[in-house]
Amino acid sequence: MKPRTPRYTPEIIKTARDHYVFGGLTFDEIAEMDSMPSARSLRRWADDGSWNELCPSLNAETAIARRIVLLADRENKSAADYKELDFLTKQQCALNQSRLPSAGITKKYGNTPAAATAQNEQTSERTSKNKKRQKKIKNDVSSITKEMLDTLKDNLLYPHQLHWFEHQDYRSRFILKPRQIGATFYFAFEAFYDAIVNGRNKIFISASRDQAEIFKANIIALCREQFGIELSGSPLTMRNKGKTTTLYFKSTNARTAQSASGDLYIDEVFWIPKFKELRGLAQAMATHKDFRITYFSTPSVTSHEAYDLWNGRWYRKTKACNDPEFAIDVSHKTLKDGRLCEDGIWRQKLNVYDVVKQGFDRIDISILENEYSTEEFNNLFMCKFIDDAHSAFSLKQLMACVGNSKKWPDFDPTWSRPYAMKPVVIGFDPARTRDIASVVVLSLPLGPDDKFRLLESLNLSGNDFETMASEIKELTLKYHVVHIGVDTTGMGLGVFELIQKFFPLAMPIHYNPHNKNKMVIKALNVIGKGRFEFDEGSVMVASSFINIRKKVVGDQISYATNRTAATGHADIAWAIMHAMIYEPLSGDCSSTRTSIGLDAA
């Protein structure tokens, strides 16, 4: 069909596309701008130009964060904009309250409906009072005093976060922590506090742009909810009694931030590829003696480039001239309360028992111990590194498989068929206990340059056989599925029988040393050749693979994750392998195309 001839210049079409793809605006919002056509015409442009293919894949937290940032940056907000922003900032605070220890609102106002109403009324009153001032001076925070922030700090923070606050004045900090104890929110609060009180610029470097925007959205929501002040701009430049302080939010491409200077925060450093290169570029931003550098992360493997910085080996090699007497004790006993070490870095090694003992009431350790194997629990919550010398997979090779789902032009999760009619393979790995299972959807390579891409993953927690089978059936309606690999060793057999009713060609996979070897060898080949890709936000995929170990069964080599109640992210690697095994071990794509009825040519 002959393409439509646009009535508008290419520059206008590009501007509209950028607003839709990168700005997150709706067609109706773009149509209201000068020189733009109707929403109907914009939809036609989007269809003709495949704009949806360029849009990023978002989870709920990221979607809320991006929308907050978008609305906060919008000039001349309408009443509807303020209403939506008010709703979204409340949702952001609710997310922090339910998932992280950032629930100062509960501590401050209580948990009753009357308290919530009082909070909403106070927030609306603050917002109304500040609207006129905001029109005069953008991002004016001069009304926020240190006393107000100190009161908020006492209401917001848990004891382990207060301990971080009390030890923030060191030149360098390196904090090893368990998952889900509120570090993202805390460091956003700390940065905001210090920016107001001391006026130092801040630079956040995250593994992805979306994660950086979560930091930004936390600060915007905090300022709006607690002080009724609208922050906007990229970067955020706050004005305080004639002085300006700027907060930058960057991904790991540090080159884009080299012109900035200020206190530096780098999160999840043990999951950042090419850490040495990043550190060399990033630390230049904190060259001045009054700026501070903070690294914080959960552990990954001992071979990661950041490990030498953590254990002091980098300092011994470069500054202590390989002095055999120089050593830094990074044991939990030495570092649990934090310690200024011999290389000038303040370190803390905090495990889940520490934070719960101190009063963190968001975690029930007994539940976690029951849900995770000993090895997984130690890695995720006890701050113990994995020695990947014994792992079947290399973290370096896995991190080379990290991609950006925003750049996948043929995939959009908002479509009714996210991958159109292209073939996919599904892997299903039920847990041995507690009725929990993991399901993944991978794109199927059809040419020598194609990759297995992780399009979607589900954690079917607490579901019965029928529900799990129903969820998998829904995937067959969304995608063109050519293979479903199911572990039938235990409880998976019951789900497999239900899957066969709507997908007769499902493949049963019975776990034994031979089949495990076959799956691991296939995955090693695919990953080693760079034929696997997963989004940069899915670091749990790498963590899952490096937990797989060799073991001896009789006179045979096999593989396992040493799990007793496997749940959560550990199943993802096996589910991925259940999907990958559909392709021959040789990786011959022509036989794959033939098997699904496609012309090899």
CATH number at residue 149: 3.40.50.300
- pTM to 2 decimals? 0.62
Q: Is the pLDDT of residue 246 over 90?
A: yes
Q: Are residues 484 and 336 in the same domain?
A: no
Q: Are residues 199 and 345 in the same domain?
A: yes
Among the listed ranges 167-171, 519-523, 547-551, which one has the minimum average pLDDT value? 547-551
Q: Are residues 414 and 323 in the same domain?
A: no
Q: Are residues 50 and 154 in the same domain?
A: no
Q: Are residues 511 and 582 in the same domain?
A: yes
Residue 259: predicted pLDDT: 64
User: What mean pLDDT is reported for the chain?
Assistant: 81
Q: Is the pLDDT of residue 418 over 90?
A: yes
325 in a structural domain: yes
Segment 81-123, tens digit of pLDDT: 777 777 777 767 766 654 443 333 334 333 334 444 445 555 4
Boundary residue ending a domain (310, 330, 357): 357
What is the domain range of residue 28?
10-54
**Where does 235-331 have alpha helices with state H?**
275-282, 307-310, 313-318
**Which of the pair, 185 or 97, is modelled with greater confidence?**
185
Rounded average pLDDT over 569-592: 81
304 pLDDT tier (thresholds 50, 70, 90): confident
469 in a structural domain: yes
Residue 25: predicted pLDDT: 65
Among the listed ranges 55-64, 119-128, 231-240, 546-555, which one has the minimum average pLDDT value? 119-128
What is the tally of structural domains in the chain?
3
Domain of 412: which CATH number? 3.30.420.240
**Which of the pair, 163 or 403, is modelled with greater confidence?**
163
Q: Is the pLDDT of residue 158 over 80?
A: yes
108 in a structural domain: no
Q: Are residues 216 and 343 in the same domain?
A: yes
Among the listed ranges 73-87, 164-178, 336-350, which one has the minimum average pLDDT value? 73-87
Segment 97-107, tens digit of pLDDT: 544 433 333 34
49 in a structural domain: yes
Segment 40-70, tens digit of pLDDT: 888 888 877 767 655 544 455 666 776 777 7
Cα gap 123→599, rounded to integer Å: 63
Q: Are residues 586 and 441 in the same domain?
A: yes
Nearest to 441 by CA among 422, 451, 428, 460: 428
Residue 45: predicted pLDDT: 83
79 in a structural domain: no
Cβ-based burial of 56 (10 A; exposed 0-12, middle 13-18, buried ≥19):
buried
Q: Are residues 566 and 465 in the same domain?
A: yes
Q: Is the pLDDT of residue 169 over 90?
A: yes
Task: Using alpha carbons, list the distances in angstroms from residue 252 to 37, 84, 173, 500.
Answer: 37, 31, 19, 45
Rounded average pLDDT over 66-81: 75
